[in-house]
A and B are shown apart, each in its own frame.
Chain A
Amino acid sequence: MAKLILSMDDQVLKEIPLSRERTTIGRKPQNDIQIDNLAVSGEHAVIVSILNDCFLEDLNSTNGTQVNGKTVKKHFLQNNDVIELGKYKLKFVQDSSPKPAAAPAVDKADFEKTMVLRPGAMRAAAEQAKAMAAGGQAGTAEAVRAAAVKQAVASATAAGIADRDSKPVQAPPATPPAAPSAEATRSPGAAAPKVAPGAESPRPASTPASAQAAAPGAPAARPTVAASAPAVAQKPLLGAIQLLSGANAGKELELSKPLTTLGRPGVQVAVLTRRPQGYFITHVEGTQHPAVNGQPIGTAPHALKDHDLVELAGVKMEFFLRG
């Protein structure tokens, strides 16, 4: 937990833990941190703590609030920041040791965290339910079981026994409160994000992604495709391949599935993957690698661009995007 060290003229006066969501600072006695000095306004500033992050906000004080010598209105406090109010200094110290238990409110907010439901809690709840049933209060066995389970969830949530999240989610104040429920309704199968994938990935793009990042530049040469480029970013266009040689020349294959296997098992196999960023071809099996526009691809997935020519197991085909 973070704390403030109040000092004047390098004399430490006291330490104040930031245990509340809001810690107010001012001259008036109702403040959490009262500083009886005329240079300090009645209600001078407030520190808002969200998870492990603390934000300092000046409450339109007469003489202002300074952090590390600069006047601030709002400030995201960092370890060892010094807040100055008149002659007083408040040093902000972030304790790096873990919190004994995450705030229950946080647990409720983040459904993704894995927690252990202790068998004890479950058993106790079940026994209680059984006792209830014996007393003739509850109806069917299922209802009893449901009650037990519900109770166990409640107790586990309240206790917040062990959460699997190492990094408490840095919930920015802008996060819409509806987010957790939206997550809760996501189904594993239909989880494919329909929004621009780049926008929601905080992580730097991995190799295949960066390869794909170059792709939008290429279609720009074709005016017809360039016009539809924003649509690619929103929702990937449906791709297809047309066979140009071999027995089935002229046939088209729509790439609507996430994975499409091409080639002959045992000889040469490649897989076309449909990802939010677009289509990729990956060599899977065989001594010979497929060629894209005459160049054999390596072992890594290769991003396909509109009208790329692919040669695989002696068959030529063209990849294109459907507008």
Chain B
Amino acid sequence: MDLTQILEIASCTDPGMVRSHNEDSVAADAASGLVVLADGMGGYNAGEVASGMATSVITSEIKQLLARTPPYTLDPVTNIAIAPRMVRDQVVKANVSIFQAAQSQPQYAGMGTTLVVCLFYDNKVLVAHLGDSRLYRLRAGDFAQVTRDHSLLQEQLDAGLISQEQAKHAQHKNLVTRALGIDPQIEPEVHEYPVVPGDLYLLCSDGLCDMVGDEEIGEALRAFGSNLDLASQQLVQMANDNGGRDNVSVILVRVLREYPGPRGVMGKLFAWLK
């Protein structure tokens, strides 16, 4: 199913004001409803290699798989749509590629990347993420964070060790607890959320949310929402105006219409029975 007419996508990536090169990587494929954002880490150019590998492996593999089997196809055994497992498998595959490259080539030793992937299908958005790159949603004026960072800070927040206010001033914002390419095995967090036409989704690297407060991001999206290209540039500009200490990347996705997956007779029956 081609989602080109249903999803409006804009992206912008920038090295920021301090760093000399960009280790973030973004990829989008409107036709298959797939957007990927990765924020690489590791010395010299290794960060770029890791994030680049993550986005390219995941986009190309999922595109190929979707061409053969649509995401809403039900798994014959579990009777669940295949999309979540497909995405999870490809994220794991990307992890293996990056990990092996890091192990086999000394110049890539220690490289890794955070990741956030969204796949839009059947009036839903599937989100898989690792690390501190985030997904936000603007729905009917409400701006909210969808993903929860895999970071030490978030774990401390969850454990009630520190307050939101303390978190803003924390020193160890930079410690992520999950990433691609660091360990041979990973556990991506995968969730699905229903989508409402008009929703605006924002994928961003920590270069944005560390520099710009959530409220300001939300305000910018409300103000510039009708022009996604401008909105993405505005967000990057705001991060840079505030210091731009890290690479800044954003992907904006607006859902223009509903996009239900076609249901067979059995599907209709199940939907009706529910």
- From A170, which residue of chain B is reached at the shortest CB distance? B20
Say yes or no: is A226 at the interface (Cβ < 8 Å to chain B). Answer: no
Within 8 Å of chain A (Cβ to Cβ): is B43? yes
From B48, B110, B169, A187 is in contact (CB under 8 Å) with B169
Are A164 and B223 touching (Cβ within 8 A)?
Answer: no
Query: Per a CB cutoff under 8 Å, which of B111, B223, B243 touches A162?
Result: B111
Interface flag for B241 (CB, 8 Å): yes
Q: Is A114 within 8 A of B43, CB to CB?
A: no
CB pair A188–B223 under 8 Å, yes or no, is: no
Q: List residues 1-52 of chain B with CB under 8 A from any CB of chain A.
A: 15, 17-21, 23, 39-48
Q: Is B226's CB under 8 angstroms from A162's CB?
A: no
- Chain B proximity of A92: nearest CB distance (Å): 20
B107 x A98 contact (CB < 8 A): yes
A161 touches which one: B18, B182, B234 (CB < 8 A)?
Answer: B182
Interface status of B80 (Cβ within 8 A of chain A):
no
Which of chain B's residues have a CB closer than 8 A to the CB of A299? 230
> What residues on B are CB-neighbors of A192 within 8 Å?
241-242
Nearest residue in A to B22 (C-beta to C-beta)?
A166
In the assembled complex, the Cα of A255 lies from the Cα of B17 at a distance in Å of 26
> A143 — nearest CB in chain B belongs to which residue?
B161
> For window 130-156 of chain A, which residues contact chain B by CB distance below 8 Å?
142, 145-146, 149, 152-153, 156
The interface residues of chain B lying within 8 Å CB-to-CB of A201 are 17, 240, 244
- Chain A residues 174 to 203 lying within 8 A of chain B, measured CB to CB, are 183-193, 197, 200-203
Question: Is A76 an interface position by the 8 A CB rule?
Answer: no
- Residues of B contacting A122 in the complex (Cβ-Cβ under 8 angstroms): 177
Cβ-defined contact, A114 with B159, below 8 A: no
Q: Taking the complex as formed, is B219 at the interface, i.e. its CB lies under 8 A from any CB of chain A?
A: yes
Interface size classification for chain B: 35 or more
Q: Which of B19, B183, B209, B227 contacts A188 (CB 8 A)?
A: B209
The segment from A30-38, A57-65, A270-278, A305-313 that touches chain B is A270-278
Contact indicator A193/B41 (Cβ below 8 Å): no
Return chain B residues, CB-CB under 8 Å to A259.
219-220, 223
Chain B residue nearest in CB terms to A258: B216
Complex Cα distance A100/B89, Å?
Answer: 31
How many A-B residue pairs have C-beta atoms within 8 angstroms? Tell me. Answer: 179
B223 touches A271 (CB 8 A): yes
B46 touches A98 (CB 8 A): yes
Main SS of the interface on chain A? loop
> In the bound complex, what is the Cα–Cα distance between A37 and B195 (angstroms)?
79
From A113, A166, A185, A269, give the contact of B226 (CB < 8 A): A269
Which of B107, B176, B206, B246 is close to A116, meaning CB atoms less than 8 Å apart?
Answer: B176
With A and B bound together, what is the CA distance between A114 and B172 in angstroms?
9
A161 to B43, CA, bound (A): 11
Once A98-B44, A284-B227 are accepted as A-B contacts, the answer to whether A166 and B19 lie under 8 Å apart by CB is yes
A50: interface (CB < 8 Å):
no
Q: Beta-carbon contacts of B226-264 to A below 8 Å, as 1s and 0s?
A: 110010001001101111111000000000000000000
Residues of chain A with a CB closer than 8 A to B79's CB: none
A-B contact pairs, 20 of them (CB 8 A): A98-B109, A100-B109, A113-B174, A117-B177, A119-B183, A122-B177, A145-B161, A153-B175, A161-B182, A163-B42, A164-B39, A164-B40, A166-B20, A166-B42, A184-B169, A190-B213, A193-B243, A197-B241, A201-B244, A284-B224
A contact residues vs B (CB 8 Å cutoff):
97-102, 111-120, 122, 142, 145-146, 149, 152-153, 156, 161-168, 183-193, 197, 200-203, 206, 208, 257-259, 261, 265, 269, 271, 273, 275-276, 282, 284-285, 299
13 more A-B residue pairs beyond the given contacts A115-B174, A275-B241, with a C-beta to C-beta distance below 8 A: A98-B46, A115-B175, A116-B177, A117-B176, A117-B177, A142-B159, A142-B160, A142-B161, A156-B175, A164-B246, A188-B212, A201-B17, A273-B234
Chain B positions within 8 Å of A, measured between CB atoms, are: 15, 17-21, 23, 39-48, 106-107, 109-112, 114, 132, 152, 155-156, 159-161, 168-179, 182-183, 206, 209-213, 215-216, 219-220, 222-224, 226-227, 230, 234, 237-238, 240-246
